[in-house]
Amino acid sequence: MAGKDYYKILGIGKEASQEEIKKAFRQLARKYHPDVNQGNKDSEEKFKEINEAFQVLGNEKKKTQYDQYGSSAFSQESSSGFRESNFNFDDLFSDMGFGDLFDIFSGGRRKKRKDYEEGADLRYDLEITLEEAFYGVKKEIEIPLHEVCKQCGGVGAESKDLEVCDKCNGSGEIKSVRRQGHMQFVSVSTCDKCRGAGKIASKYCENCKGKGRIEKDEKLDVKIPQGINNGQHLRIEGRGEMGRNAPSGDLYIVIHIEKHPYFKREDENLFLDKKIDLTTAIFGGEIEIQGIDKKIKLKIPPGTQSHTPFKLNGQGMSIINSRGRGDLYVLINVDIPKLSRNKEKVFRGLTE
């Protein structure tokens, strides 16, 4: 058989029935359609090829001619007849039992678009002190809240009267068709006038101005767990933006901890600089340190050098979701006094 092997292109045998030919074409069209493989020239050429094969084998008369004379019996124009006859893909797939072209990408079970929009998540930045992070705290915050307009029941129309959208004719979708050579491409998008609902208000509700929802501020008590760290967040389900025939979003509370005047924090551990006088450094002694939750006594051994660290176990931050605590690291700085001449002589005498 001279020319192209249309049976091989569709991956079927010569004895294939019209139903088998359509099924083979549908599977290949779903795989190689340009709208599925945007920018892929190879897929576009492959789609042209399988379409050409289907135009012949999917027509009993043309199939008989092809079986007798091969593809040479058809010119480029006649084998791709949709170019000359303004071939419509929607008609083709309707004949195959599909609603429209895009039904092939969902196995023929594509559902009509609906007025469905999940609510957006909200973020709230909350600043607390280090002590509040240590103990845990309850805070009252105020967030914007949307609720269904009671006057119109959420439809956005006065007296709840709706009419068919004149832009999409009630389908909720806008189809656009473009041609590239002998190919026809169809794209579908949600109608921007009715936002996919298929209906619009004949007169907008005065209470909500057609939005179907009312915004108000709501006070909310938030429990901050002890040990929470800077940048961590709390999630409160369903307290975000209200959905449209869909679940509401969530509220995310992001924690920011104020800079502390003398503590530094690294995860569950705390760090503190502490000055001691020269006498205590030389002879040793006991000093008092203010911890995050109480005063702590620390023994300084004789001859302690400046920048000597001391570790106080279990005196750091609370560990989130735990009864444990981190550690407190105290860095000793020896305060060297400025001596008068007389004191300098005495000091030198002691060190000689």
What pLDDT, in 10s, does the model give residues 29-70? 878 877 667 667 888 888 888 888 888 888 888 888 888 877
Q: Could you give the CA distance from residue 5 to residue 11 in angstroms, rounded to a whole number?
A: 10
Mean pLDDT of all residues in 17-37: 83
How far lies 322's CA from each of 11, 73, 222, 228, 273, in Å?
63, 81, 19, 11, 27
Q: Could you give the CA distance from residue 43 to residue 101 in angstroms, rounded to a whole number?
A: 17
Q: Could you give the CA distance from residue 253 to residue 57 in angstroms, rounded to a whole number?
A: 62
pLDDT for res 255: 95
pLDDT for res 313: 96
How far lies 26's CA from each of 21, 109, 330, in Å?
9, 14, 74
pLDDT for res 182: 58
Say which range, 95-99, 281-285, 296-300, has the weakest mean pLDDT. 95-99
Element (H, E) at 179: strand 173-180
Q: Which residue has the higher pLDDT, 193 or 17?
A: 17
Q: Which residue has the higher pLDDT, 169 or 88?
A: 169
> Residue 107: is its pLDDT beyond 70?
no
Q: Could you give the CA distance from residue 294 to residue 31 in angstroms, rounded to a whole number?
A: 70
Percent of the chain residues past pLDDT 90, beyond the cut? 32
pLDDT for res 134: 96
Mean pLDDT of all residues in 183-210: 75
What pLDDT, in 10s, does the model give residues 261-295? 999 999 999 999 999 998 899 899 999 999 999 99
Q: Are 101 and 34 in contact (CB under 8 A)?
A: no
Average pLDDT of the chain to the nearest whole number: 80
pLDDT for res 211: 74
Domains of the chain with bracketed CATH:
6-106 (1.10.287.110), 263-351 (2.60.260.20)
Query: Smallest Cα–Cα separation from 291: which of 318, 278, 272, 307?
Result: 272
Assign 183 a pLDDT band (cuts: 50, 70, 90). low
pLDDT for res 62: 86
Q: Which amino acid is at 169?
A: N
In residues, how long is the chain?
352
What pLDDT, in 10s, does the model give residues 208-264? 877 777 788 889 999 999 999 999 999 999 888 877 777 888 999 999 999 999 999
pLDDT for res 160: 65
